Structure 1
Amino acid sequence: MTFAQETSRLYLNEYTIPLNKKGAAIGKIFNKEGAVTNAKILKDEAGLFTIRKGVLQLKKKAALPAAGDFKYEVSVQSGDDVAAFVLVKDAFIKNKVIAHRGAWKNHAGSENSITSLKDAIKIGCEGSEFDLWLSSDNEIVVSHDPHIGGKAVEETSLAELQTVQLKNGDRVPTLEEFIKVAMDQHTTRLVVEMKPSAKGKGELLATKTVAMIHAMKAQAWVYYISFDYNILKKVLELDPLAKVAYLSGNKSPEQLKADKMWGLDYHMGEFEKNKQLIQDAKSKGITTNVWTVNDPAAMDVLLKDGVDYITTNEPEILLEKVKK
């Protein structure tokens, strides 16, 4: 599938539908200038949705149970701007567990594979993190390291990269393949890490990634993270309401808030150095994620301190802890 490098000019601040709530509000409608109040619905095959005062919501007497279809597409218009969205019943798990490169350490697949993504979904993680690069022919591929199977990702075509054999019969996957898997369920979200580029292609990676997510109408499933602040700024330029979190650890919650970042996603050492970091972030409305936490005792401390998310290679251990 080919995707134009274009994104919607209308956005929602939320794409999930509350369950069992008549007339539930879903999300406010925005353009790049801010909230819009003149939006109308162009297409709603389910006949369930309406817009009131710029808020997309269920009709007054409509309520959705957990069972049945979970995806609904609507098209809306504001002035000359038109956008189509996929709305999703909110059955997404909220247990703080982010599987680092999927669930692979105790499973059949290798990290950052389709199998590891499916296993993260199967065991019930809130999110599954994975890493993106552009190949030499500018296709978006999934790999943690800049080299895989002896091939430099940014210097190798997608076709050649996909000759690399991974465990369990997998091959190097694409972002498109990951999104398709994610959109077949509505319990686990994708945590999309865009890697800094040695070829200067970071902003192109951001542009193509956001364009693909918008074209596939996958906004409800996706959070964005990166060590490259300019990549995250590019994402917000393209989608001002995208949920983006910074990885490098050198920005305060105040700085992140000023730049309209959704969260910080810092190494556990940053939280050890600054015992107030979680509370400082919360006071600014910034979400907190910590990586990569494999020690059970460290998990206990972070859960007690109220961190929002924990990224781990041991999601099974953390899942047992959050159940308690």
Structure 2
Amino acid sequence: MKAYFALFFSMIICYASQAQTMKWNQNPVIAHRGAFKKNQYPENSIASLKESIRLKCYGSEFDVHMTRDGIMVVNHDADFYGIDISSSTYKELLAKKLPNGESIPTLEAFLKEGMKQKKTKLILELKPAKTEEEMMKLTDAAVKMVHDMKATAWIEYISFHYGSLKRILELDPKATVAFLASVGSAVSAEKLKEDKFAGADYHYSVYKANPGWFEEAHRLGLTINGWTVNKEEDLQWMLENKADYITTNEPELLFELLAKKGK
């Protein structure tokens, strides 16, 4: 019991000390898989992360899987150039390279790079695993690494797996989590609030089908993020409806629109 309270208070002190030194970029721009498109960087690469930081995005989103030998790696799909991640070792994944010559990034390397600065948040998406057991193993390992590396201030968690997000809050009640969903899988703002989530991270079509989402979520103190918003008219619509965050493959375009609005 003493060890538990010692851990709890050390977490409180860690959060407080980090919060005093962080000044996150004040804009709604989250670069989807990093800022990759304009300069043709590989998605989910260290290069695309660096570019999102250079652009001064609020956040850079990235996707996490676990290999057979327990190494967490950053990649969108469940396979890396035809190599199934969950059934392969990390060493086996090194047989392939990203187009810019990078190897598949480990979560550890990704966090180390992101923690070199204190302006852009790291939006960590836990990708669905093949089994519930594997999903919880990934969740526990990711939270442990974030804490071991003292990266909590940089991290916001997202996932399509509701149970994974609830597990994160069990492990770290101060974590920021948002539920990913599309039409047909979205849950109510009341449910998110009840489960102590920070907000909704839904496909923008969910909000278009129910514009009342914005008012209801904000009334409950929840944030709204929309993905993946790339067309100018859709970006404008999200801005007009006061979305808190917008995840996009076109961060440069979104910054241009914000500049026109004087934001």
| TM-score when normalising by structure 2 | 0.91
Aligned equivalents of 2:28 and 2:13: distance in 1?
Answer: 21
> C-alpha deviations, 1:112-166, integer Å up to 9, x for none?
0111101111111110000001111111111101111110111111111123200
Which residue, 192, 210, 228 being the options, matches 1:256?
A: 192
Residue deviations 1:243-287 (CA, integer Å, cap 9, x gap): 000002421110000001111100011001111111110011111
State the match for 1:296 in structure 2.
232
Q: Which residue of 2 aligns with 1:9?
A: 8
Between 1 and 2, higher relative CO (CA 8 Å, sep ≥ 6) is seen in 2
Within 2, Cα distance between the matches of 1:227 and 1:281? 19
The match for 1:226 is: 159
- Aligned to 1:168, the other structure's residue is in SS state coil
2:208 is matched with which residue: 259, 268, 272? 272
Distance 1:194 1:295 in 2: 26
CA distance in 2, matches of 1:174, 1:88: 29
C-alpha root-mean-square deviation of aligned residues, in Å? 1.7
Specify which of 141, 145, 153 is matched with residue 208 of structure 1. Answer: 141
| 2:178 equivalent in structure 1 | 245
Q: Which has the higher helix share?
A: 2
- In 1: Cα distance, 2:236 partner to 2:255 partner: 12
Distance 1:117 1:8, change over 3 A: farther
Percent identity between the two aligned chains: 42
Taking a change above 3 Å as real, the CA distance of residues 254 and 13 of structure 1, as seen in their structure-2 partners, is: farther
Give the gaps of 5 or more residues in structure 2: 1-5
Task: Determine if contact 1:264/1:288 at 8 Å carries over to the other structure.
Answer: yes
Q: Which residue of 1 aligns with 2:101?
A: 169
**d(CA) in 2 for partners of 1:230, 1:9:** 23
Partner of 2:220: 284
Alpha-carbon displacement from aligned partner over 1:8-64 (angstroms, at most 9, x marks no partner): 42344994xxxxxxxxxxx4xxxxxxxxxxxxxxxxxxxxxxxxxxxxxxxxxxxxx
Instruction: Give the 4+ runs in structure 1 shifted more than 3 A.
Output: 10-15
1:13/1:98 CA distance change after superposition, 3 Å: farther
How many angstroms apart in 2 are the aligned matches of 1:146 and 1:299? 29
In the superposition, the TM-score normalised over structure 1's length comes to 0.74
Q: Partner residue of 1:113?
A: 45
**Bigger strand share:** 1
Distance in 2 between residues matched to 1:171 and 1:88, nearest whole Å = 35
- Aligned partner (choices 154, 168, 179) of residue 111 of structure 2: 179
Amino acid paired to 1:257: K
Whole-angstrom CA distance in 2 between matches of 1:255 and 1:214: 27
Structure 1: runs of 5+ lacking an equivalent:
1-6, 16-26, 28-73, 75-85
**Counterpart of 1:250 in 2: which secondary structure?**
coil
Partners of 2:64 and 2:174 in 1: how far apart? 21
For 1:53-100, what per-residue CA distance to the aligned partner results, in whole angstroms no more than 9, with x for missing partners? xxxxxxxxxxxxxxxxxxxxx6xxxxxxxxxxx455232101100000
Give the distance between the partners of 2:22 and 2:63, measured in 1 at CA.
Answer: 25
- Structure of higher CA gyration radius: 1
**8 A Cα contact 1:88 1:220, kept in partner:** no
